[in-house]
Structure 1
């Protein structure tokens, strides 16, 4: 994200409040676009639907939880490739092999689409919903997955305005489509599930607008088309297996508490298709929204100011700097990193503290009871720790500490899994506590691990053995070449 972060810094450098407000707005959309879109769009859609009492609560729930499931499981599915593909694209950019970026995009798009179809098929077989509704779910699911893919490649783009406007435009279309459906509900409600189907279709169109805007931005950024070597990144799964495991475990850790709680007190099933827990799902949803400042500051601060010092250090290492120059560059880099981490933590702690303090007033005004408020306070503190864990996790990957990132993700997943199972019989009063404990324990471990690793950074930089091509890498590389060959044969 540093490419976008540097350009956003120009807006922050201006002293006017409007420029700073614009910078934070674009940073929010670029760093957490899908998350903000689903939050804002569903919030507005709920408000619109609420103005039409004739729309049943069952129709509302079906639509909302269908969208939620599409986002949740697309995130899990994409985590199987995210870090590995990011490393591959980063290496291409570092080596200035820009003509190989679009083939990698095509390969990742095809692989993600096949995986998404494999996830959708069991749902389609089990769910009693109409086939047409399930086909629209597939369309939305594929679209959201492709948005994740595009965002990975657009991390190197500099056209943050187009990216931001793409998310805004897509959200606006989704809300407008919902309003049209509600205004014409009598004409549209000709059979069961027809209104949720139209609402879902309108939301899908909105996400499609975002998708095509991002794709247009990608074409402008990397105009060189080339279809050879689309699956070359497969070799990186064998070359960097810890990246693969770390990405999967971290994303599983985020949702494992939710999946287990779906079978606890207060959980229920929507239309025989979606397990939900109204209290916990809503609490974790709003809790993650509270760590938006951490995500924004990571891009506009840590990944810009810190990155400059990081680059200076490795320039000294790679271009024959003396030991004194290398140590001096490291000292500057460590100072800036420490300052920025403290800055992010202080701001997020203050923001979360204010939200937790006023949660009672806010949610009571919205008509929610004390059980939910208490649960939200616990999950909000957990989200605070999880935000810091995410930053430490990414900084580890900056320094190629893949083992540290894997250990942190495994610890996060293991604690969340075990404690959620142990706390589940305790009912509503214990829900959210496992996520909070797991997040804090893992972030503390990650902080100690990163500190220890950076103390011996010279050793890891100069003495770390080069990766040797193993059996798994050779087989995956061979699979990639076979898929590329098959793709060429089909094109003929």
Structure 2
């Protein structure tokens, strides 16, 4: 599933500074596209609204929280299927059954739509917002959920330019729509929270453009050959339950600190609907931006350079290589993996340390509350550890250590949740510390687990019970997939 990384590597092999800069730029948009687009688009929309529209603080907060909630909970829903579907699609590629990729996309899309609408129904049950506004949020929420789905399938696509341009086009359309809607603001005055409605409508329009751009890339990359067996991938929940828990608990673990802190010191409730903590949410938002370099380096360097040695090592095992060939490829793979991980830690570590040390000085130029600065220092450490946990978890999955990856996610979620509960009475003085400690604890385990596994990788390659195919009788999810496939209409 390292297709985008390999295409970007072609640009790095060219001896042109512009080609390398282009590769890093595309890698940034491909790996962190949603973050970059959302941040830039929201910033532009907020600037426009403050300059040209009579927007109140409440309306601006309503807009921000509408976007934040949509992204946070769509990511949690996506985590339910993320790794299971990724494994299923990867197996299709390995078996050269790419004609089944698009039907799988259709099936995952339908399940995602069901989960998204169900979550929205729960939301409107507790919400006090006008129904028209809630309906707009449904469109936005569904759109973002489908963008996550397309992003998964396009992770192995060759049209990475289309991925980048889809997000850029969406950003331009979003800002342009807000401008056009602002000029006809009188037409929306009959709608409660009219200004927020216009801002969310403009942003949603941009996301829809992004969605269709990604869908176009999907249709080009994986043409529709058949629509049969759309839900066959659901049977993989029986085959790989550890992947479900790994993806789901990791995504929940990212936000569990926020959810708990929403009920601590600094808690606010907007319009009896959105619960938030402005101080902590601001700090965690900015700290997550500091780890964008990790995502870029992993895609264009670690995942690609390491994967070449990984493929060579397992190629010798699967195709009957000599003992010397296996040993030599193992040593090469270990050396490259260690080298790339050390470079990743040094690069991201240096960036995080510089930001932590300089944030106080930078705050003299921009008015920022002291509580936000103090929390930000802790959350930046947590974000660094979180990024490394993600990288190490993915590498563990490369080596089929699904149990190790699952335990890592369990620790990541449980440590963050328990420590946040314990430190909640300390209020602002304890915010961020639980995230830093919990994420670092999970990172320590993942590092020890990978070190142990990589030293005995040849043993696990031959003797790992995960590699054995066992014919299992149909169980819950397998039967469910068969039942759903029989009743598929479109």
Q: Distance in 1 between matches of 2:167 and 2:144?
A: 12
Change (3 A) 1:469 1:56: farther
- Out of 444, 450, 470, the residue aligned to residue 468 of structure 1 is 470
Cα offset, 1:156, TM superposition:
1.2
Cα offset, 1:409, TM superposition:
0.7
Q: 5 Å matches for 1:212-231?
A: 212-231=212-231
Q: Distance in 2 between matches of 1:29 and 1:220?
A: 20
Instruction: Give 1:233's aligned residue.
Output: 233
Cα offset, 1:50, TM superposition:
2.5
Q: Is the Cα–Cα contact under 8 Å of residues 310 and 333 in structure 2 kept in the other structure?
A: yes
Instruction: Give 2:122's aligned residue.
Output: 122
Q: Is the Cα–Cα contact under 8 Å of residues 104 and 230 in structure 1 kept in the other structure?
A: yes
Change (3 A) 1:364 1:52: farther
Q: Distance in 1 between matches of 2:281 and 2:485?
A: 42
When the two structures are aligned, how many residues end up with a matched partner? 488
Q: Distance in 1 between matches of 2:434 and 2:104?
A: 39
> Does residue 473 of structure 2 align to residue 458 of structure 1?
no
Cα offset, 1:176, TM superposition:
1.9
Q: Secondary structure at the match of 2:229?
A: coil
Cα offset, 1:164, TM superposition:
0.4
Q: Secondary structure at the match of 2:487?
A: helix
Cα offset, 1:358, TM superposition:
2.0
> Does residue 378 of structure 2 align to residue 405 of structure 1?
no
Q: Distance in 2 between matches of 1:359 and 1:183?
A: 39
Q: Secondary structure at the match of 1:269?
A: strand
Ranges in structure 1 where 5+ consecutive residues have no aligned partner: none
Q: Distance in 2 between matches of 1:363 and 1:85?
A: 44
Instruction: Give 2:178's aligned residue.
Output: 178
- Farther off after superposition, 142-151 or 174-183: 174-183
Cα offset, 1:2, TM superposition:
1.7
Q: Is the Cα–Cα contact under 8 Å of residues 103 and 224 in structure 2 kept in the other structure?
A: no
Q: Is the Cα–Cα contact under 8 Å of residues 63 and 200 in structure 1 kept in the other structure?
A: yes
> Does residue 442 of structure 2 align to residue 432 of structure 1?
no
**TM-score (norm: length of structure 1):** 0.97
Instruction: Give 1:486's aligned residue.
Output: 487
Q: Secondary structure at the match of 1:365?
A: coil
Q: 5 Å matches for 1:53-64?
A: 54-64=54-64
Cα offset, 1:252, TM superposition:
1.1
Q: Distance in 1 between matches of 2:314 and 2:371?
A: 51
Q: Distance in 1 between matches of 2:455 and 2:408?
A: 18
Instruction: Give 1:351's aligned residue.
Output: 351
Cα offset, 1:53, TM superposition:
6.5
Q: Secondary structure at the match of 2:470?
A: coil
Give CA-to-partner distance per residue, 1:100-127, whole Å, 9 cap, x none.
1111000000001001111110111211
Q: Distance in 2 between matches of 1:364 and 1:78?
A: 40
Change (3 A) 1:40 1:486: same
Q: Distance in 1 between matches of 2:464 and 2:235?
A: 21
Q: 5 Å matches for 1:280-359?
A: 280-359=280-359
> Does residue 71 of structure 2 align to residue 101 of structure 1?
no
Instruction: Give 1:111's aligned residue.
Output: 111
> Does residue 270 of structure 2 align to residue 270 of structure 1?
yes
Q: Is the Cα–Cα contact under 8 Å of residues 34 and 167 in structure 1 kept in the other structure?
A: yes
Consecutive aligned runs of 4 or more in structure 1 exceeding 4 Å deviation: none
Q: Is the Cα–Cα contact under 8 Å of residues 239 and 469 in structure 1 kept in the other structure?
A: no
Cα offset, 1:180, TM superposition:
2.9
Cα offset, 1:474, TM superposition:
2.7
Q: Distance in 2 between matches of 1:48 and 1:22?
A: 29
Instruction: Give 2:421's aligned residue.
Output: 421
Q: Distance in 1 between matches of 2:424 and 2:302?
A: 38
Q: Distance in 2 between matches of 1:333 and 1:373?
A: 41
Q: Secondary structure at the match of 1:81?
A: helix
Q: 5 Å matches for 1:26-41?
A: 26-41=26-41
Q: Distance in 2 between matches of 1:60 and 1:254?
A: 25
**TM-score (norm: length of structure 2):** 0.97
Cα offset, 1:9, TM superposition:
1.3
- Farther off after superposition, 178-187 or 10-19: 178-187
Cα offset, 1:287, TM superposition:
0.6
Q: Distance in 2 between matches of 1:429 and 1:470?
A: 52
